[in-house]
Chain A
């Protein structure tokens, strides 16, 4: 157990639907990062939050949004889902930035049918 909890582990939904992925960071970590891993792709950075505030944005679609709550857990909302959104979505947390290392959760596998 890495200390980063992601729920649900698996999600199957239809095109056009909306889903919410949840992440609880490791205790004491203020930063939360979301990554997407599609087939044959590396980990694509989506968005970072630090202590409740958006810190950086990567290749995140406008149909996707995220937030970090006062208790530091984070949610990634994916709407108007398309087949191409099927992927593994990872959440990671850290105390600061890259040099402190990221701790990843085990991911949510999203399948859009």
Chain B
């Protein structure tokens, strides 16, 4: 049973436009959410995170929104750049500092010039 779901395997966006990547979760005990970016032949790298006590966190071009009632979070990238083309993983944790990360299957983002 997948606790973290990324239902879109891929997304294609034009350079300069907004990219919206979605993630749904089933475990209401998750209290921390993170997004990772992965380029081919590299390990995932941390992008941005949000605690369950917040509904928005922003870092430069990246904003994560959390809707706890819907058990849904999204990552917005504005404006999208070709270098953002990568696989994006949503991850969630129970237990904050002690919990392990449960990852979704990832969404491959392609940003076209």
Contact = CB atoms under 8 A, between A and B. Distances in A.
B44 A104 contact: yes
Interface stretch (B11-19, B59-67, B102-110): B102-110
B105 A99 contact: no
A98 B44 contact: no
A104 B34 contact: no
A45 interface: yes
Contacts of B36: 104
B91 to A, nearest CB: 8
B43 interface: yes
B96 A99 contact: yes
Size bin of chain A's contact surface:
20 to 34
Contacts of B104: 42
B45 A104 contact: yes
Given A102-B46, A106-B43, A97 B96 contact: yes
Interface residues of B, number: 28
A8 interface: no
B82 interface: no
B100 interface: yes
A100 B34 CA distance: 11
Given A4-B43, A104-B45, A56 B89 contact: no
Interface string A31-50: 00101000011111100100
Closest 6 CB pairs of A and B: A104-B43, A98-B93, A42-B105, A43-B103, A97-B97, A101-B46
Interface of A: 2, 4, 33, 35, 40-45, 48, 56, 58, 90, 92, 96-107
24 contacts: A2-B43, A2-B45, A41-B105, A42-B103, A43-B89, A45-B103, A48-B100, A92-B43, A96-B98, A97-B96, A97-B99, A98-B32, A98-B34, A98-B97, A98-B99, A99-B49, A99-B51, A100-B97, A101-B49, A103-B46, A104-B36, A104-B45, A106-B42, A106-B43
